[in-house]
Amino acid sequence: AQKITQTQPGMFVQEKEAVTLDCTYDTSDPSYGLFWYKQPSSGEMIFLIYQGSYDQQNATEGRYSLNFQKARKSANLVISASQLGDSAMYFCAMRGGSQGNLIFGKGTKLSVKP
């Protein structure tokens, strides 16, 4: 069975510092995709970054980068130079399996302190 685990219910980071949000996954599929979404208090899930299981390089999108360690089955999100607007819930998700649907973790609440 596929599973996404986010072990940090909440994280604090000082403004302008970098923060790493952990995500581990479990799957027996050779082909899968990993996603990170941000959910502010308004509720909308905002797509941040994607990593394919066959991608050789770690994905980057602006201040977001994904530290993909395939052997360890981890896909941590790194946010550089944190901003107050980064305060939100962050969800790791995996796409794969027989139906190709997204499976989400329980999320990490990030709070950025001024």
Q: Is 10 in the site for another protein (CB under 8 A)?
A: no
Locus of tokens 């399996």: 97
Q: How far is CA 6 from the centre of its chain?
A: 9
Q: Is 104 in the site for another protein (CB under 8 A)?
A: yes
Amino acid at 86: D
Do 91 and 107 touch, CB atoms closer than 8 A? yes
Distance, in Å, from the CA atom of 27 to the CA atom of 12, rounded to the nearest integer, reads 30
Q: Is 37 in the site for another protein (CB under 8 A)?
A: yes
Among 95, 108, 110, 112, binds another protein (CB under 8 A): 95
Stretch that binds another protein, among 10-18, 19-27, 68-76, 104-112 (CB under 8 A): 104-112
Taking the least distance from each CB to another protein, the nearer of 46 and 81 is: 46
Amino acid at 31: S
By three-state DSSP, how is residue 85 classified? Answer: helix
Q: Is 44 in the site for another protein (CB under 8 A)?
A: yes
Q: Is 90 in the site for another protein (CB under 8 A)?
A: no
Distance, in Å, from the CA atom of 73 to the CA atom of 23, rounded to the nearest integer, reads 9
Q: Is 99 in the site for another protein (CB under 8 A)?
A: yes
Among 19, 27, 35, 75, binds another protein (CB under 8 A): 35
